[in-house]
């Protein structure tokens, strides 16, 4: 039987799939490029080793991306174990080299953060998209804050969620742009720079997990984009996860 992803990939235009993969690959190349630049300037052995580890991580993610594309037409996968807070902080740290050297990045991950009901690699690519956008919107002295916090039960029925926010002090957006950012192919960037696919991809990913995305932006002040995911229930995170679509095996 075909997986849901393969079916939807077959239904969608292959052109669209290609563009979204190219978009992810481009972002990944920015991480690799940034890491190599750091490596060229770094002579301290420990620091160089840390950069090598990041480079290895970026290459592995590229391999996962192509593997999943071959297996079922997209990065999405059906069975996932969820992302643990440790995996999240490693992923967020790995984003640093993709930012311009004069952008400051702060990380605030709540202690006791619940595991997030999302695949760690997909989450990485989503955060990479958000950080690259934030970086592009800030000038020298730019600040990007990535935070993650539990959202406990609330009176409106939502709760047991985890909110991951990427906030910047960049250009912000006009009302008109705010209304269109999630449209596929909507971009305010020059041809060849922007694809307009980033936020559309991120939104589709969050919604596939049963979560949602929130946008706050003020022109001249900055932007915050919040991804709200269900947490992994305790009974699930305690049990080993079987992956029906295991896609890291070599065959
Ligand atoms: P792209 O980055 O290729 O343009 P995206 O879907 O990632 O496509 O973003 C669409 C548009 O949303 C961008 O062109 C930009 O105008 C706006 N945008 C996204 N993130 C930010 C941000 N952090 N600050 C200001 N504008 C943003
Ligand atoms: Mg983008």
DSSP-assigned states of every residue in 127-169 = HHHHHHHHHHH--TT-EEEEEEEEE---TTS--SEEEEEEEE-
Q: What is the pLDDT of residue 230?
A: 93
Residue nearest to atom 16 of ligand 1 (CA): 188
193 burial via Cβ count (<10 Å: 0-12, 13-18, 19+): exposed
> At 56, which helix (H) or strand (E)?
helix 45-72
Ligand nearest to the CA of 196: 1
Residue with tokens 């393969």: 6
Q: Return the axis-axis angle of helices 14-41 and 198-208, rounded to nearest 10°.
A: 110
Q: Give the chain's largest Cα–Cα span.
A: 54
Q: What is the pLDDT of residue 138?
A: 95
CA of 132 to the centre of ligand 2 (A): 6
CA of 83 to the centre of ligand 2 (A): 23
**Cβ contacts of 177 within 8 Å, gap of 6 or more:** 188
pLDDT along the chain (251 residues), means of 10: 48 67 85 90 91 87 82 68 92 87 92 93 93 92 95 69 97 97 93 87 93 97 97 68 46 39
89 burial via Cβ count (<10 Å: 0-12, 13-18, 19+): middle
Q: What is the pLDDT of residue 61?
A: 86
CA of 128 to the centre of ligand 1 (A): 13
ipTM of the predicted structure?
0.99
Distance separating the N- and C-terminal Cα atoms of the chain:
19
**Cβ contacts of 95 within 8 Å, gap of 6 or more:** 31, 105, 127, 128, 131, 146
Quick check: 3 and 78 in contact, CB under 8 A? yes
For ligand 1, which residues put their CB under 6 angstroms from it?
Answer: 129, 133-134, 137, 168, 170-171, 173, 177, 181, 186-189, 194-200, 223
DSSP helix/strand/coil, 1 = coil
CA of 188 to the centre of ligand 1 (A): 7
Quick check: 138 and 98 in contact, CB under 8 A? no
Q: Look up the pTM and report it.
A: 0.80
**Cβ contacts of 91 within 8 Å, gap of 6 or more:** 83, 120, 123, 124, 127
Strand partners, 164: 148, 227
Residue nearest to atom 25 of ligand 1 (CA): 172
Both tokens of 55, joined, read 């480079």
């Amino acid at each position: 039987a075909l997986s849901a992803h393969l079916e939807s990939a077959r239904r969608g235009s292959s052109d669209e799939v290609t563009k979204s993969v190219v978009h992810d690959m481009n972002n990944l190349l920015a991480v690799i490029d940034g890491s190599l630049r750091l490596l060229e300037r770094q002579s301290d052995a420990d620091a160089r080793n840390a950069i090598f580890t990041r480079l290895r991580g970026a290459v592995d993610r590229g391999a996962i991306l192509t593997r999943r594309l071959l297996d079922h037409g997209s990065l999405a996968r059906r069975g996932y174990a969820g992302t643990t807070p440790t995996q999240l902080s490693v992923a967020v740290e790995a984003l640093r080299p993709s930012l311009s050297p004069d952008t400051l990045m702060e990380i605030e991950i709540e202690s006791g953060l619940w595991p997030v009901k999302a695949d760690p690699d997909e989450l990485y690519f989503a955060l990479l998209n958000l950080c690259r956008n934030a970086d592009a919107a800030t000038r020298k002295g730019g600040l990007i804050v990535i935070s993650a916090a539990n959202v406990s039960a609330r009176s409106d029925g939502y709760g047991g969620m985890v909110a991951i926010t990427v906030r910047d002090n960049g250009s912000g957006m006009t009302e008109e742009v705010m209304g269109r950012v999630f449209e596929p192919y909507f971009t305010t960037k020059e041809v060849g720079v922007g694809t307009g696919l980033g936020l559309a991809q991120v939104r589709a990913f969050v919604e596939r997990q049963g979560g949602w995305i929130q946008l706050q932006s003020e022109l001249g002040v900055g932007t915050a984009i919040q991804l709200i995911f269900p947490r992994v229930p305790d009974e699930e995170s305690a049990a080993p996860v079987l992956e029906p679509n295991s896609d890291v095996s070599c065959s």
